[in-house]
Amino acid sequence: MADEKKEAKSFLDKIVESYEWTIKRLERTILFGIRFVIPNKVVSPHGFLGMLTFITFIVLGVTGALLMFYYRPSLTGAYDSVKMINDEIDFGIVIRNIHYHASNLMIFLAIYHLFYQLFSSRYKIRNEIIWVTGVILGTLTIVEAYIGYDLIMNIRAVLAINIGAALTYSTPFIGPVIADIVIGTGFDDLILRIYTLHVLIFPMIMIILFTLHFPRNLVFDPGMVGIIIGALFITSALFPVPLGDKYTPDLPAQVTVPEWYINPLYALLRTELDKFVMGVLLPTLFIMMFMVVPFIDRSKSMKITERPLALGIGISGVLQSIVTTVWGFYVDPDPRKSYVERLAIDPYLFFGVLILINIVSFGGAYLYSKYSKKSPTPPRRTRSEPINISKETIEGIVYAMVITEFFVVGVSLYMYLLGNLTFGLIATGLSLIIFGFISYGIRLITTR
């Protein structure tokens, strides 16, 4: 009889047993050392901006690995292979656009993450090392993206390589050594070396630094991830990144500007003052300003309005980044003027504006904290009115969203079938966003 009983349970039992067997063994791996928290109610993405940045990093890894199948890291082949990815390979333009926009999104999210942590003083609660590795990771992300778009070898890329090379050479002592290592004997070496740095060495360093940056509890919110990646896909469909003109040494460079994340540097260089001070020293000081925040801001308070120094650094950081980035994009549009004249930025005006920004933000921060201390207003916790929608209605909305999602997925597949990649990608992005909202809807029901 016992045998029969064993027989009857065996199939399901085996599945359960093997599941438990696997889990028990997985417990010995590092995977179970990390605690993933999937929030059970609607939470603000501010709490897991770092996780969103990491998700974008994974998107970049996947699309980048796919692009490696076709990209040729050589002086003669680089541009043509990117052109082939763009024009000939099925979905090549989709993968390339997602990779490009994801790089923009990752840097933007990293900067957003930095400023949110700064304004909410998260670096205070024994998070100093996490903060410092975070600033290093952000810088590495920008360098990684910068060498990534150099790989296309169009005129913009060579402008960027040119700026980078000039800055490296102008750095005393280590500069020439680094330049020798990266440039080698010329373009052909350079392109292979920055390719290796871009696809292997920098991502490796970043992954190693992640272990020093990630907190023990990771919040993973499928809803927000769906929304962010959906937004990324829609942007990629709406704005296909132009390929640019191929770099040939006989062709003149058009008046062009680098990507936005190194544009502050470009604006500084265009003041035509000393290259090392403008291009290396000042940006380093700017980054160091953020790095030292936890060590100079020793006040006990967690409220940003009571910490004028951190508030000032935050505001001046945001304003200086925006102003220098936009200024770097501006080139005098009158082609009748000389090239040098069009690019030049008046240093007195430029630094006048930057100094003004600093005075206003630090002065404003100190005045604000002083003023708000004098008249302490007790924080009013006004509970906002709950949304009175019955469980049934939310359920109805969720069902409707599920049906819409399936419809949109169908449209997306049909568009790919027709070869309309733009609308296909928009529909894919839309379906991901709807998936995100479904997950929020379900959370509203389950927490009620």
Partner 1 sequence: MVDRRTVLKSLFVASGIAALAPFFPLGKFLTPEAQASYPRQKVGNINDIPILGQLFVTYPKTGDPAKDNDPFRQFLIIRTGENEVKAYSRVCIHLWCLVDYQKDKDLIECPCHGSQYRKEDGYAVAGPAAKQPNRYLPILKVEIDSNGDIYAIGIEGEIGYGR
Partner 2 sequence: MDKGLYIASVFFIFMGIIGTWLGLFAEISETFYEMTGIALVILILGIAMLPIALFKGGKPPVESFIPIFALLVVGFFTIGWNFVVPAEEAGPTTGVVERIYLLAGEYWFNETNPDIVVSEGSLVEVTVDNVGVVVHSFRVFGVSEDSGNILPGEKVTVSFVAGKAGVYDYICTIPGHVELGMKGTFIIEQSNQTATSE
Residues in contact with partner 2 by the rule CB under 8 A: 42-46, 100-101, 104-105, 108, 112, 116, 120, 156, 224, 227-228, 230-232, 234-235, 238-239, 241, 245, 250-257, 259-260, 322, 326, 329-339, 342, 383-387, 433, 437, 440
257 binds, among partner 1, partner 2, none (CB under 5 to 8 A by kind): partner 2
Least spacing, CB of residue 86 vs partner 2, in Å: 15
Under rule CB under 8 A, residue 342 binds partner 1? no
* Structure tokens given for 25: 């063994």
Q: Report strand pairing: 35-37 vs 217-219.
A: parallel
Partner in contact with 332, chosen from partner 2, partner 1, none, beta carbon below 5 to 8 Å by kind? partner 2
From CA 379, how far away is CA 350, in angstroms rounded? 40
Residue 188 binds partner 1, judged by CB under 8 A: yes
Supply φ then ψ for residue 35, to 5 degrees: -100, 115
Can residue 201 be called a binding residue for partner 1 (CB under 8 A)?
Answer: no
What's the rounded Cα separation, in Å, for the pair 256 and 244? 10
In sequence order, the β-bridge partners of residue 85 are: none
Residue 184 interacts, among partner 1, partner 2, none and using kind-specific CB cut-offs from 5 to 8 Å, with: partner 1
Nearest-angstrom CA–CA distance, 170 and 290: 25
Q: Which does 176 bind (CB under 5 to 8 A by kind): partner 2, partner 1, none?
A: partner 1
**Alpha carbon 197 to chain centroid distance?**
18
Give which of partner 2, partner 1, none residue 112 binds (C-beta under 5 to 8 Å, depending on kind).
partner 2
Tell me: does residue 159 bind partner 1 (CB under 8 A).
Answer: yes
Tokens standing for 269? 């260089």
Residue 291 or 360: which CB sits closer to partner 2?
A: 360
CA distances 186 to 43, 155, 181, 189, 202, Å, are 51, 17, 11, 6, 21
Calpha distance 157→198 (Å, rounded) = 14
Q: Which is nearer to partner 2, 73 or 138 (CB)?
A: 138
Nearer to partner 2, 39 or 61 (CB): 39
Q: Rounded to the nearest 10 degrees, how much is the dihedral formed by the CA atoms of 154, 280, 276, 333?
A: 50
Choices 52-60, 73-81, 121-129, 209-217; region in contact with partner 1 by CB under 8 A? 73-81
Rounded distance, CA 110 to CA 377, Å?
34
Least separation in angstroms between residue 221's CB and partner 1 is 43
SS3 122: helix
Residues that bind partner 1 (CB under 8 A): 74-76, 158-159, 162, 165-166, 169-170, 176, 179-181, 183-189, 249-253, 272, 274-275, 339-340
